[in-house]
Structure 1
Amino acid sequence: MSQMKVVPGIKITPAIMIANALPDMDYPAYSSTAAYNIGDYVTIDLINYQALVANTNRHPVTDTATPAAWQAIGWVNKYRMFNKNIGNTWQIGTFTSSPESIDLTIRPGKRINAIGLVGVRASSVRIVMTVPGVADAVYDKTFAMSRKAGGSWYQYYFGPFTTKDNLAEFNLPPINNADIRVIISAPGGTAQVGMMVIGWAKNLGTAVYDTSFGRKKYSTIKEEFDGSVTMTKRGRRRSIDFQVVLLDDDEISSTQRVLDDVDDTPALFVGSSELSYTIIVGIFDDFDTALPTYNFGKYTLKVRSLS
């Protein structure tokens, strides 16, 4: 059993991301005088677009002629770990990646006490908090995301690495003028993050062991008349049905208020920070609870990932 938490994330904008070596543009900027062919790419305001038809002087954002000349295909690599949506459409299966490491610094401008990363491919994640005018970091901790299997010398030297994809930390000092530096390291490989959320953690009760997990993929398989198979790879979504206990009548009302604040809004949900598979960024579908008896209530919280 562990304290169930939710973290509504703050919006990460260029104004608060004060350091990040990744480029702001994945493709050349759009030009009204350029002749574009089908399949060409441009970047405008941190969003990538692909040409659907050959065109000149048809702006990807403002052009309203039909058929459409451009299609928005998602955020640039630099911001993909913070933003998945184009309008009301969320793109699953996308991530920010970079050879060897991703190193960024965020200045939230408000108090936060929690950070979560999902869909991580790295050997370690280091989180450092500093305050202007203070020589030493107020928080500096490195989390191992992969390690050698133990049990015997053979397993250590020849066995596979054990890995975890998700991380949640709730012990950040709540200082309102701190800078948060996050370093995702993958020496010799490619560092990758599906989503990162920072914000203020709120309690939702006590998660218990009846929690269940699922995963749905959206790839399609089409069988042809001759028996051949065409497979189209698409994204997948994780799901967690948290079983949560409330030990006080007042917790039901307070939990409902907290969930109202994240209704239809992506947030970090954590059953236990010690169990990485109970960490998910997404939206909750349902909140089902029974009438509490003897100051004991239990509810199911169904969360579906957006990463």
Structure 2
Amino acid sequence: MKVIAPMSVTDSEVTSTNIAATVHPVWDAGTTYAANDQVYMTGLSGKAYRTVFESQLGSNLGNDPSADDGTNWIEIGATDRFKPFDRKIADTVSKATSITYQITPSSLVTGIAFFGLDAESVRVQIYDAGLTEVFDETHDLVDDTEIVDWFEYFTWDGIYDSEALFTGVPGYSGHRIDITISAPTGTASVGQIVLGRVHNLGTTLDGTGIGSEDFSTKERDTFGNAILIEKPFADTVDFQFSFPTRDARRIKRVLDGIRATPSVYFANDDMTEFGTTVFGFFQNYSVPLGHGGTSFATLEIEGLV
């Protein structure tokens, strides 16, 4: 079992992209805003990206959007360019044929994960400080696991993975990471791009389970007819894993460091087909210590929407 502890991606890390910067003025306490005017703010707690707010009334003067309760301003989210880094998988960014990002990380990156993909392939290239290519890997997103016979082969409608995971990435601080999300004959989309350092927590065991938490509402009217309102759902994974007892302090240190940070949890580099890769958080954890040198633990992860 492993986890990617993510880095924050800011204006300074994104050195190039083909996603146009959304034009919004920065909020100014001395400016009067009309209803539906949009502004952005930076430096908000827990948000490394530009956050957009929309005015809810006319003659909006001196009301700080970041401290508002929704009366004067509502938060719209990140600008298009930074949607892949705003921790909202469902809020995607799209562009015809391809999406490209060039990122110069300010910290070590050994893993990159993608969620909410709608594309044919994802390519990651890394260049060192001298612009020598040191990594080049492409993941084909075609999912052909349903093709089990000739009938399925000829009737297959084309299914693509919505996730991609790259590990063993030599993304040292100051290196250049080039990302290309391709859909040559259509529109490429991505919900989240997560970059960070991979930490090994232990060995994934039998009994690890996947599921989902559905936020749709299901009610019945006075005649018993079902009223279903579809809403988003979150992936969940209950990890069962083992680890050398002597690693308990290190594991606790890793988990404590990301306790309030959505991170990427996965079973192993070669086990992505099991559906255990999830971008989310844990509520609490307990790491029991074993007498024989090996300990066994459970970690429940709830994914982001």
Counterpart CA distance in 2 for 1:59 and 1:188 is 48
Residues 1:137 and 2:136 are matched in the alignment: no
Q: Structure 1 residues 207, 184: closer, same or farther in 2, change over 3 A? A: same
CA shift for structure 1 position 272: 2.0
Counterpart in the other structure of 1:88: none
Question: Which consecutive unaligned segments of at least 5 residues does structure 1 have?
Answer: 85-90
Where 1:251 maps in the other structure, the secondary structure is: helix
Alpha carbons 1:47, 1:72 under 8 Å: kept: yes
Counterpart in the other structure of 1:293: 291
Sequence identity of aligned pairs in percent?
Answer: 23
After superposition, give the CA deviation of every residue in 1:92-113 in whole Å (9 maximum; x if it has no partner).
6323333332110100033321
Counterpart CA distance in 1 for 2:135 and 2:220 is 55
Counterpart CA distance in 1 for 2:103 and 2:66 is 34
CA shift for structure 1 position 267: 1.3
Counterpart CA distance in 1 for 2:168 and 2:59 is 53
CA shift for structure 1 position 232: 4.6
Counterpart CA distance in 1 for 2:111 and 2:165 is 7
- Paired AA for residue 299 in structure 1: A
Counterpart CA distance in 2 for 1:65 and 1:294 is 55
Counterpart in the other structure of 1:262: 258
CA shift for structure 1 position 66: 8.5
**Mean Cα displacement is larger for which, 10-19 or 284-293?**
284-293
Counterpart in the other structure of 2:92: 95
Alpha carbons 1:92, 1:235 under 8 Å: kept: no
Counterpart CA distance in 2 for 1:66 and 1:272 is 42
Counterpart CA distance in 2 for 1:301 and 1:258 is 13
Residues 1:82 and 2:78 are matched in the alignment: no
TM-score by length of 1: 0.83
Count of equivalent residues: 292
Counterpart CA distance in 2 for 1:252 and 1:237 is 29
Question: Which consecutive unaligned segments of at least 5 residues does structure 2 have?
Answer: 42-49
Alpha carbons 1:5, 1:271 under 8 Å: kept: yes
Alpha carbons 2:107, 2:172 under 8 Å: kept: yes
Q: Structure 1 residues 41, 97: closer, same or farther in 2, change over 3 A? A: farther
Where 1:79 maps in the other structure, the secondary structure is: helix
Counterpart CA distance in 1 for 2:82 and 2:104 is 15
Q: 1:155 aligns with which of 152, 174, 191?
A: 152
Residues 1:25 and 2:32 are matched in the alignment: no
Counterpart in the other structure of 1:303: 301
